[in-house]
Amino acid sequence: MNPLTVTSTAPLLSALLLASPVALHAAEPHYAPEWATITPKRTIRHSNPQNDTLANAVSALQPGDQLVIAAGTYSMERMWDIQVSGTAEAPVWIVAEEGAQVILTRPDEKQNVLNIGQASPVHHLCLRGVEITGGSHGLRLGHCNEVWIDQCHIHHTGQVCLSANSANTNRLFLTRNHLHHGGGHGEGMYLGANQGEFIMSQSVIARNHIHDCRGSQGDGIEVKQGSWGNLIAENNIHDTQYPCITVYGTAGQPVNIIERNLCRRSDDSSMQVQGEAIVRNNVLIGSKKGSGFASIDHQGQSLNLQVIHNTIINVGDAFKGGSWNAREGMVLANNVLYSRDKSALNFPQGREGVTITGNVVLGDAPKQGATPGRGLEDFVSLSWDGEKHDATPTAAASLDHADAKYLLDTDFTGAKRNGATSGAVAR
């Protein structure tokens, strides 16, 4: 049978492909590209896992094509770099057949399993539903703009699971992926490069499940210095060696937004953000050695950082602002900051000029801008180690101390706030 079967257009789009991008786009339009709901002009089916037939099928795609890959293990022995692009009106779609396990791998770690845009720019491309394992990097994004990686499973790789650190990238959409057990440095996602050599901008990293990031480092999501204007939202990240989320500064460009993430059971701090960001409505629990939230100079200064309406529960320091003293635009407002053994708020170099207001605290803390909380009994089901992570306040909790000036309209769940509850989750 010819592995490439060309059929007509829209009627053959699977229920999964119809439902998933539409649902994501409708519920959160900023999580998916503007072209998410466009119907392919033709559908091509591929079912031959031998040699380089899949790579050849991909290289032949034209704008508006959708390649549906049948179940099987597709192993590439050479470097595979996808270089096909679509347009805003006619994207290219590379997708696993509905309900099929499509595994992309290679026999060794000499190359990455899959590259996109290493040799030439790629844009308006969606890769969805495939499993990637083995190789060096699982998936490496190069010169990419308007590239959507959705519902892929990337795991047990020789190095980082997914990287975008070898070229400037813009408007990446990394959504609903499952990443775990990367090797080497061990990151789930490595985005941008050190000292701003390569920058990711105006991108979305949302609703990913990332865990078991070990190795020599092991951040869940790491966004490097100079990357700007990105949204990191609703990710579930746990069991990492370095912070679940690490974000550097933007070098004066528009801030990054980090919101509604669940981060727990890190061997380091649960979240570390240098500056130039809005950090809101996150639940951070159970860092084993570090702080719940940490911020310090690193490849740039800490400045213009707002930490608002987060629930941070930790055995050690809940919040640690190592380089916040006398810095521009530093706000710590309306958070729940509970430390079992150390400080709720720790400013080792001082806190001159920092706005501190509306916080509910447990542990040692400055009196300014802080109201005492009771402990874990203030929540429906939380544990210091992060095993339990329902941060909904109980009826008996006295958390209604938020400063109206910094009150957010919605909470961790996306529900509208009807009161002045501090922390990520409203009543």
> Quick check: is 335 in a domain?
no
Q: Write out the two tokens for 342.
A: 């150390």
Tell which residue, 45, 122, 55, 119, has the closest CA to residue 87: 122
- Contact present, 270 and 248 (Cβ < 8 Å): no
Please list, in sequence order, all residues whose beta carbon lies within 8 angstroms of the beta carbon of residue 210, skipping any fewer than 6 positions away.
Answer: 161, 178, 179, 180, 188, 189, 220, 221, 235, 236, 237, 240, 244
* 3-56 confidence digits (pLDDT tens): 233 332 222 222 222 333 334 443 455 799 999 999 999 999 999 988 789 999
52 vs 240 pLDDT, higher one: 240
Distance CA(293)–CA(330), nearest Å, equals 14
* pLDDT recorded at residue 365: 72
What domain range includes position 166? Answer: 1-196
DSSP code string of 224-251: -TT-BS-EEES-EEEEESS-SEEE---T
> Quick check: is 192 in a domain?
yes
* 286-300 confidence digits (pLDDT tens): 998 999 999 999 999
- Contact present, 260 and 287 (Cβ < 8 Å): no
> Quick check: is 262 in a domain?
no
Tell which residue, 240, 344, 20, 418, has the closest CA to residue 261: 240
The secondary structure of the chain in percent helix, strand, coil, rounded to multiples of 5, reads 10, 40, 50
> Quick check: is 99 in a domain?
yes
* pLDDT recorded at residue 390: 97
DSSP code string of 327-351: -TTEEEES-EEEEEEEESEE-TT--
* 341-392 confidence digits (pLDDT tens): 999 999 999 999 999 999 999 998 767 789 999 999 999 999 999 999 999 9
> Quick check: is 418 in a domain?
no
Distance CA(29)–CA(15), nearest Å, equals 20
Distance CA(223)–CA(277), nearest Å, equals 12
What's the predicted TM-score (pTM) here? 0.93
Pairing outcome for strands 139-141 and 114-116: parallel
- Contact present, 128 and 100 (Cβ < 8 Å): no
DSSP code string of 33-100: -TTTTPPPSEEEEE---STTHHHHHHHT--TTEEEEEPSEEEE-SS--EE-----SSS-EEEEEPTT-
Instruction: State mean pLDDT over 209-219.
Output: 95
Distance CA(114)–CA(367), nearest Å, equals 53
Secondary structure (3-state) at 321: strand
* pLDDT surpassing 80 at residue 252: yes
- Per the listing, tokens 């207001």 go with 357
* pLDDT recorded at residue 420: 95
* 109-152 confidence digits (pLDDT tens): 999 999 999 999 999 999 999 999 999 999 999 999 999 999 99
> Quick check: is 154 in a domain?
yes
* Polymer length of the chain: 427
Please list, in sequence order, all residues whose beta carbon lies within 8 angstroms of the beta carbon of residue 233, skipping any fewer than 6 positions away.
Answer: 31, 204, 205, 206, 207, 257, 258, 259, 260, 261
Total number of domains constituting the chain: 1
Report which secondary-structure segment, H or E, holds 17. helix 15-27
* 143-195 confidence digits (pLDDT tens): 999 999 999 999 999 999 999 999 999 999 999 999 999 999 999 999 999 99
* pLDDT surpassing 90 at residue 72: yes
CB atoms within 10 A of CB 395: 6
Tell which residue, 275, 278, 378, 272, has the closest CA to residue 317: 272
Mean pLDDT of all residues belonging to the chain:
92
> Quick check: is 368 in a domain?
no
* pLDDT recorded at residue 175: 98
- Per the listing, tokens 């440095």 go with 185
List, in sequence order, every residue forming a beta bridge with 223; answer none if it has no partner. Answer: 191, 247
- Contact present, 277 and 299 (Cβ < 8 Å): no
Distance CA(156)–CA(359), nearest Å, equals 41
* pLDDT recorded at residue 421: 96
* 294-341 confidence digits (pLDDT tens): 999 999 999 999 999 999 999 999 999 999 999 999 999 999 999 999
Identity of residue 263: C
* pLDDT recorded at residue 427: 83
- Contact present, 346 and 337 (Cβ < 8 Å): no
> Quick check: is 333 in a domain?
no
* pLDDT recorded at residue 43: 98
